[in-house]
Amino acid sequence: MKPPIVLLLSCLPYLSACGENTVPALQGYVEGEYVRLAAPFAGTLQNLVVQRGAQVRQGDPVFTLEQQNEAAARQGAEDRLHASEAQLADLKTGKRPQELQVIRAQLAQAKAAAQLSTTELQRAERLVKGKFVASDQLDAARANDKLNQAKVTELQAQLQVAELAARPDALKVAEANVAAAHAALDQADWQLSQKSVAATRNGLINDTYYQPGEWIPAGSPVISILPPENRKVRFFVPEPQLGSLQTGQTVQVSCDGCGDAMLMHISYISPQAEYTPPVIYSKDSRAKLVVMVEAIPGVADAAKLKVGQPVDVKL
């Protein structure tokens, strides 16, 4: 028979094991939501500014497609705008100065002729009154004076019209043409700007899908960015434990090389159960239903995580 003290010492390892937390950790992995950048128009990739693994900030240029066609279209839109603006200005200012000078000269001649005919009419009236000439000469002088006075009135009206702007309807049409030309230029500017793409978020260049010189279809992603806040932990909870979970709940996440366990908050609980995914290598639970759960790390902890990295999660 062993002494009591020997029996007590031999049981210490088992007592220590019984005092440890035996709650098994849930298996999961790090998932990333990527921001994929593309141009809305097709074209040849002219310049790829960034490389995989580089960090970019929002607004940094990342790639450029060839843009000769869009640049030519913009130049054409700008020229049409200048033409429509010149046409509108011409309609607002009336006739040219040279044309106005011609009308003024004709008016001066008409006034001189009218003054002369008025003098001749007065002389004819005196001669007829003194019975030195026949009355038919007076009638001719009156007709000539009326004709010259009418010519003066006509040229005065022509000068007033020539100094006026175009008719309101014509001005409205010209103004509408200017507005349409402005809109066409704005559209051409936008199309040209879409050939040069900048980063929309801060983050890591995860991958580049084309090389300079390759043809890029419209809307096809050229690069993908992983913002630090887009990392999350995805793990799977056995269906019987689902009732104890709720969004906002805190969980502990640990991984190799990550240091101390990280606290994260559950952001999503799948509404559907599924079979254990193949990435979870557990023969005992492979046939059981699990529920996918996602948890979001803090900004500092997110930098420690790598996409695809396995993690252990404790509720």
Residue 20, pLDDT score: 47
The full set of domain ranges for the chain reads 26-32+228-314, 94-164
pLDDT value, residue 259: 84
Q: SS3 for 286-303, per residue? A: CCCEEEEEEEECCHHHHC
Q: What is the pLDDT of residue 11?
A: 47
User: Is 94-164 in the same CATH topology as 26-32+228-314?
Assistant: no
pLDDT of residue 166: 57
Q: Residue 233: name the closest of 28, 26, 33, 35 by CA.
A: 28
| CATH classification code of 94-164 | 1.10.287.470
* Residue 164 confidence (pLDDT): 56
Ranges assigned E (strand) in the chain = 26-32, 35-37, 43-48, 55-56, 61-65, 196-198, 203-208, 215-216, 223-226, 231-238, 250-254, 262-275, 289-296, 310-314
- Per-residue pLDDT in tens (0 to 9) along the chain, 315 residues: 455 444 444 444 444 444 444 557 888 999 999 999 999 999 999 999 999 999 999 999 999 999 999 999 999 999 999 999 998 887 777 666 777 788 788 888 888 888 888 888 888 888 778 777 777 777 788 888 888 888 888 878 777 766 655 577 777 888 899 999 999 999 999 999 999 999 999 999 999 999 999 999 999 999 999 998 899 999 988 878 888 889 999 999 998 888 889 999 999 998 887 766 555 545 454 446 888 899 999 888 888 888 988 999 998
pTM: 0.62
Q: Which CATH superfamily is domain 26-32+228-314 in?
A: Efflux pump adaptor protein, beta barrel domain (2.40.30.170)
Predicted local distance difference test score (pLDDT) of residue 65: 96
At 6 the pLDDT is 42
